[in-house]
Structures are given as C-alpha cells and as structure tokens.
C-alpha cells in the first residue's frame, strides 16, 4: 500500500506542476481545445500504464495521465458555466452539473461491472480499455461548440498575467481563501483512502469477482444523489458544507470501527460525498470570480487539493502496512474531524460564512 500511495503522490505532484499552466492554457486557447487534448493524453496515459510491469513504468503512466488530467481539471465545470452564462441560465449551473455528474456515475457503474470481468482476464487490459474510452471522449469533445465567453487573445495577454490575476482574486477574497482550504482538505483526505477499498473488501471476505458490483453500487448511490443535488442545496441552505462534513465524519468513523461486508455501504457515502462537495464548492467559487478567469482559479483549487494529497497519501499507506487497514481508516477519520473542527473554530473567530 505504501508503493500504491507513493504512485498517487507522483500523480498528484505531476498534476500539481502542470495544474496552473494548464488552466492558463484553457483560458488562453479555449476550454474546448483543452478538453479535447486533455482527454486524448489522459487515455494515452492509461494505455501506457496497462502495458507496464514495474514501478517505474507505472510512474511514467501516472505522469502522462497527470498531464491529461491537468488539462481537464476545473476546465469542464468552467466550460459548462460559460455556456449557461452565455444563454442567461447561470442560475441552473448546480442542477446541470449535478445531472452531468449523475450520468458520469452511471457510466462508472456500468464500467465497474464490465471492468471486473475484463480484469479477471487481464488487469492490464482493464487499464487499456479505460484509455480507449477516454480517447473516445476526446472525439466527443470535438463536437462541442465554442462560447463567446472565451478570453480574448491579444498582444497584451500572456500566461503570467492570467496566473497573476487569478491568484490575486484568491488572495484578496477571504471567502475564496476559505473555500480553497475547505475543498483541499475535504477532497484530499477522502481521496487518500479510496485505494484502501479493495484491500478492505478482500480482508472482509468479499469475493474478488464481486468487487465491480460493489463499485457499481457505490456509483449508483452517487448518481441518485447527484441527480437531485440542486434540491439538497435548497434543503440545507447556507449550512450545506457543515452537513456534508458531519455525514462524512460518521461514515469514516464507521469504516474505522468494523471490518465487515455490512460496512461497505459506508464506502458509497464516501464516494458520494466527494462528488457532491466538488459540485457545491465549484458553484460557490464560480459565483465569486469572473468567467474569463474561471478555469485558472478552479485549477488552483484542485492544485491545493493535490498538495495535501501528495503529502498525506504515503502516510496513509505506511499506516496501513504497519498497523492494518482499520487503523489507517481510524487515522484518516481522526484527521478529518480534527481538521474541520479547527477550521470551524477559526471560522468562528473570523466570521467566515463558508463554514457556518
């Protein structure tokens, strides 16, 4: 698990290095172009990974995948936002992206089951199939239409200017700073345990051939919740972030308390919480920043998450190898609760609404 998590750190560092420049490329050349190229490179990385047979080859695959992801990360949400704003439907962003994410979860659900059968024949080919699917997605992106919201290209526009202005937006807006911190820790802490789900199922006695079915179940729950995420936002109102943190904390504590198939539905809660938090927080960010800087700022948001993950992932792997899976989950649960209690305390002193 230490080696598995170290590969995730390599991936995170790779995206970290490329995240901001790639966001600037999307703002400069257009988000449509960034999505087309990013999907193709992302798929190529998985194909290389599938043919690998050593740590070094896997690391190269991770870095190529990271390059592709850096061109997609944050750009997809910003592209949707641009289209909605252009058609005076900006207030529908939450509902539209929620439904888009719901369809994505359905795709994951189907591919999980199919991937289980493919993996039973060849684990490498399951990665190659993933790459082929991503390249097909690149072909779909070719059909996307441009928007008038794209940043104008002129002699006075350069990458440094785009990055500098976006960082200034974050630095000079206290709410945006706290949203960035919230997103970074929430996503990184949860993502650090995603790679524990398969050894958890194995240790709890779930047959390997049912792993894909379990993943499908997790994604089904996510799809249902994400399809109605706009209704959830209205229900929880301004306290939506705190409710999400509380529910996630309970799920983490539960996973760290029992090693049994009966606890597997809690993994579905973790998967869903990650997807929901991305939509809710992206919505908050896009309501603050100008659309012509949206891709770069969202890229910065994801970059901050990867900074935390790059440090945390190997630690979780070491704890799992030395003390076992349950202790790794307990460690993550304790860290998650401690971080957000601290943020809540600091929020109270500074009266920042994002963690109310």
Give pLDDT tens digits for 232-255. 667 666 677 788 888 899 999 999
How many folded domains does the chain comprise? 1
> Does 354 reside within a domain?
no
> Does 356 reside within a domain?
no
- Count Cβ atoms within 10 A of the Cβ of residue 54 and give its class: 0-12 exposed, 13-18 middle, 19 or more buried: exposed
* Residue 159's pLDDT band (cuts 50, 70, 90): low
Tell me if 341 sits within 8 A of 169, measured CB to CB. Answer: no
Closest among 43, 113, 19 to 307, alpha carbons compared: 19
* Residue 56's pLDDT band (cuts 50, 70, 90): very high
> Does 219 reside within a domain?
yes
What are the residues whose beta carbons fall under 8 Å from the beta carbon of 252, sequence distance 6 or more? Answer: 270, 329, 332, 333, 336, 337
What is the model's pLDDT at position 186? 87
What is the model's pLDDT at position 237? 67
CB atoms within 10 A of CB 237: 9
What is the model's pLDDT at position 148? 67
> Does 55 reside within a domain?
yes
- Of 27-41, 122-136, 156-170, 300-314, the range with the lowest mean pLDDT is 156-170
> Does 143 reside within a domain?
yes
Closest among 184, 356, 311, 202 to 264, alpha carbons compared: 202
CB atoms within 10 A of CB 184: 20
What is the model's pLDDT at position 157? 44
Tell me if 281 sits within 8 A of 183, measured CB to CB. Answer: yes
**CATH number where 339 lies:** 1.20.1250.20
Tell me if 25 sits within 8 A of 68, measured CB to CB. Answer: no
Q: What is the pTM of this model?
A: 0.72
CA distance 70 to 28: 15
CA distance 299 to 316: 25
pLDDT above 70 for 15: yes
**Angle 202-204-208 from CA coordinates, rounded to 5°:** 30
What is the model's pLDDT at position 64? 94
What is the model's pLDDT at position 94? 74
Tell me if 270 sits within 8 A of 251, measured CB to CB. Answer: yes
Mean pLDDT of the 123-152 span: 83
Mean pLDDT of the 256-261 span: 90
> Does 79 reside within a domain?
yes
DSSP-derived secondary structure for 124-166 = HHHHHHHHHHHHHHHHHHTTPPP-TTSPPP-TT--HHHHHHHH
Host domain of residue 272: 2-349
């Amino acid at each position: 698990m230490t080696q598995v998590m170290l590969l995730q750190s390599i991936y995170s560092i790779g995206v970290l290095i490329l995240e901001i420049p790639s966001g600037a490329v999307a703002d400069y050349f257009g988000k449509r172009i960034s999505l087309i190229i990013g999907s193709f490179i992302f798929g190529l990385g998985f194909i290389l990974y599938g043919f690998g047979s050593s740590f070094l080859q896997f690391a190269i695959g991770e870095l190529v995948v990271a390059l592709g992801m850096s061109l997609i990360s944050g750009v997809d949400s910003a592209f949707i936002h641009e289209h909605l704003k252009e058609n005076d439907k900006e207030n529908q962003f939450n509902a539209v992206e929620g439904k888009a994410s719901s369809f994505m979860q359905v795709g994951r659900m189907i591919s999980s089951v199919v991937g289980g059968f493919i993996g039973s024949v060849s684990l490498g080919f399951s990665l190659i199939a993933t790459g082929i699917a991503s390249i097909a997605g690149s072909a779909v992106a070719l059909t996307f239409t441009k928007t008038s919201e794209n940043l104008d290209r002129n002699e006075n526009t350069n990458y440094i200017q785009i990055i500098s202005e976006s960082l200034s937006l974050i630095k000079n807006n206290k709410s945006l700073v706290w949203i960035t911190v919230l997103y970074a820790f929430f996503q990184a802490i949860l993502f650090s345990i995603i790679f524990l789900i398969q050894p958890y199922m194995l240790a709890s006695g779930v047959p390997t051939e049912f792993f894909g079915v379990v993943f499908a179940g997790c994604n089904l729950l996510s799809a249902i919740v994400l399809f109605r995420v706009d209704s959830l936002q209205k229900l929880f109102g301004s306290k939506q972030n705190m409710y999400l943190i509380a529910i996630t904390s309970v799920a983490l504590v539960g996973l760290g308390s029992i090693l049994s198939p009966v606890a597997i539905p809690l993994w579905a809660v973790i998967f869903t919480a990650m997807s929901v938090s991305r939509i809710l927080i992206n919505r908050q960010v896009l309501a603050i920043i100008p659309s012509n800087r949206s891709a770069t700022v969202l890229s910065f948001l994801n970059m901050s998450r990867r900074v935390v993950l790059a440090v945390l992932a190997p630690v979780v792997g070491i704890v799992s190898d030395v003390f076992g899976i349950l202790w790794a989950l307990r460690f993550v649960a304790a860290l998650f609760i401690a971080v957000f209690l601290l943020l809540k305390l600091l929020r109270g002193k500074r009266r920042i609404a994002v963690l109310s």
